[in-house]
Structures are given as structure tokens and as C-alpha cells.
């Protein structure tokens, strides 16, 4: 019984950022209905599963060389950041494109769906880490959730403006990978204080919030 209670606490803690954002949407962005939110959340969860599958394939390449700059660079920026952000982009794309075909999505809406998808990714990832140590789940509420939320916002914006502003969309995608990679580097490097990871995650999140309000090219279509 105690184990079940702990499991439920871990799941609740991991889901807390998504719950908070959903109620914030209900107050500030009522157009983000429960179905839209849940579909985007599911897209984020699917993106994690896809990324995990691809990362397992890449793991064999990392094992070939244990030391040096390139294995670290490959592991952090390619195997983790690039794979996860590409997976997020691909799974979120049909959600946003479907909404745009119905004429219901503008740039702000797309960024909001990206935020939900990012929190879906963070929910499952945080819960899985929490199975080993519940304190990790609590820590990730203030690090991984903002980080993936920010990346999701930027991915949603990139998808929305991809057709008419491909260079700008590419910029959003590339910077998302770099932000994600920098965060991972701060996490794993013993020579760098872990507080830097928190600063990167929070700075990326608050630096992306303006896209929820006034995303560029609001009336563009893919």
C-alpha cells in the first residue's frame, strides 16, 4: 500500500507543471480546450517514446569511444538534444497542421500547444526518474519541466511559421537544440555548478513566454 501511495505521489509531482499550465490556459487562453491540451500532451509523450527508441540505437555509437570531446558532444547535443527536439517537432507537426487546416490556430495557439507537448514529455521523463529517487522528480519540476516547456513553445512556433519563414523557423529549431544541449551539459559536468542548469531552464522558459502572447506571423499558414 505504501508503495502505491509513493507511486501516486511521484506521478502527481511529475504532472504538477502540466496541471498548473492547464488551469492557467483555462484562465488566460480559454481557446486551449481540454481536447487540444490532451492531444498535445499525448504528442509530447509519444515524442519521448520515439526519442528513447532512436537514442537506444545511437547508444552503440557512443560506446565505441569512451573519452574525448566528440563522444561527449555527440551524446549531449546529437543523441539527446537533437533527437528529442526532432522527435518533438515531428509528433507535434500533425497536431498543429490539423488545427491550421480548420482555421482555429494562430501563432500564439501553436506555441501554447507546443508548451503542452513539452510538459507531456517532461511528465513521463520526470516520473521515470522519480521511480529511482523521488527527490529527482521534485528537482525536475524546476528544471526539466521549464526546459521542455520552453523547447515545446519554440517547436510549436517553428512549425507554424515554417512555410512562410523557413529561415526563422530553422533558427527557432536550432536554438532549441542548443538550449537543450547546454542544459544537459550543465547537468552532467562535474566541473560546472548545477545551478547553471536551473538558470538555463528558467531563462529559456521565461524568454519564450512572449511567443504565447504575440507569436510572429500569427496569420500565416503552413
**pLDDT tens string 140-187:** 777 899 999 999 999 999 999 998 899 999 999 999 999 999 998 888
Using only the alpha carbons of the chain, give its radius of gyration.
17
Reported confidence tier of residue 214, pLDDT bands at 50, 70, 90: low
- Angle CA 119–206–198, to nearest 5: 75
In whole angstroms, what is the distance from residue 31 CA to residue 110 CA?
11
pLDDT of residue 219: 41
Q: Grid cell 519521448 — which residue?
A: 48
Q: Which of 211, 220, 79 is nearest to 151 (CA)?
A: 211
In whole angstroms, what is the distance from residue 94 CA to residue 90 CA?
8
- Per-residue pLDDT at 221 exceeds 80: no
Q: Where are the alpha helices (DSSP H) in the chain?
A: 2-28, 34-64, 69-73, 83-101, 107-130, 134-141, 144-161, 166-188, 195-208, 210-214
Which residues contact residue 60 at a Cβ distance below 8 angstroms, ignoring those fewer than 6 apart? none
- Angle CA 79–85–90, to nearest 5: 115
Amino acid at each position: 500500500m505504501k508503495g502505491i501511495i509513493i507511486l501516486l505521489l511521484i506521478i502527481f509531482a511529475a504532472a504538477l507543471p502540466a496541471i498548473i499550465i492547464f488551469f492557467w490556459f483555462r484562465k488566460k487562453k480559454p481557446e486551449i480546450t481540454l481536447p487540444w491540451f490532451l492531444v498535445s500532451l499525448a504528442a509530447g509523450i509519444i515524442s519521448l517514446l520515439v526519442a528513447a527508441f532512436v537514442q537506444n540505437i545511437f547508444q552503440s555509437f557512443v560506446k565505441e569511444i569512451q573519452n574525448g570531446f566528440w563522444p561527449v558532444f555527440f551524446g549531449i547535443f546529437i543523441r539527446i538534444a537533437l533527437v528529442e527536439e526532432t522527435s518533438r517537432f515531428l509528433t507535434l507537426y500533425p497536431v498543429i497542421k490539423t488545427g491550421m487546416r480548420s482555421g482555429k490556430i494562430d501563432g500564439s495557439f501553436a506555441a501554447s500547444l507546443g508548451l503542452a507537448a513539452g510538459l507531456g514529455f517532461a511528465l513521463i521523463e520526470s516520473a521515470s526518474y522519480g521511480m529511482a529517487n523521488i527527490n529527482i522528480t521534485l528537482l525536475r519540476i524546476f528544471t526539466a519541466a521549464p526546459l521542455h516547456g520552453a523547447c515545446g513553445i519554440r517547436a510549436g512556433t517553428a512549425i507554424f511559421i515554417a512555410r512562410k519563414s523557413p529561415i526563422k523557423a530553422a533558427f527557432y529549431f536550432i536554438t532549441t537544440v542548443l538550449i537543450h544541449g547546454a542544459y544537459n551539459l550543465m547537468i552532467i559536468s562535474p566541473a560546472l555548478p548545477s545551478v547553471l542548469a536551473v538558470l538555463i531552464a528558467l531563462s529559456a522558459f521565461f524568454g519564450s513566454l512572449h511567443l504565447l502572447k504575440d507569436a510572429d506571423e500569427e496569420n500565416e499558414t503552413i
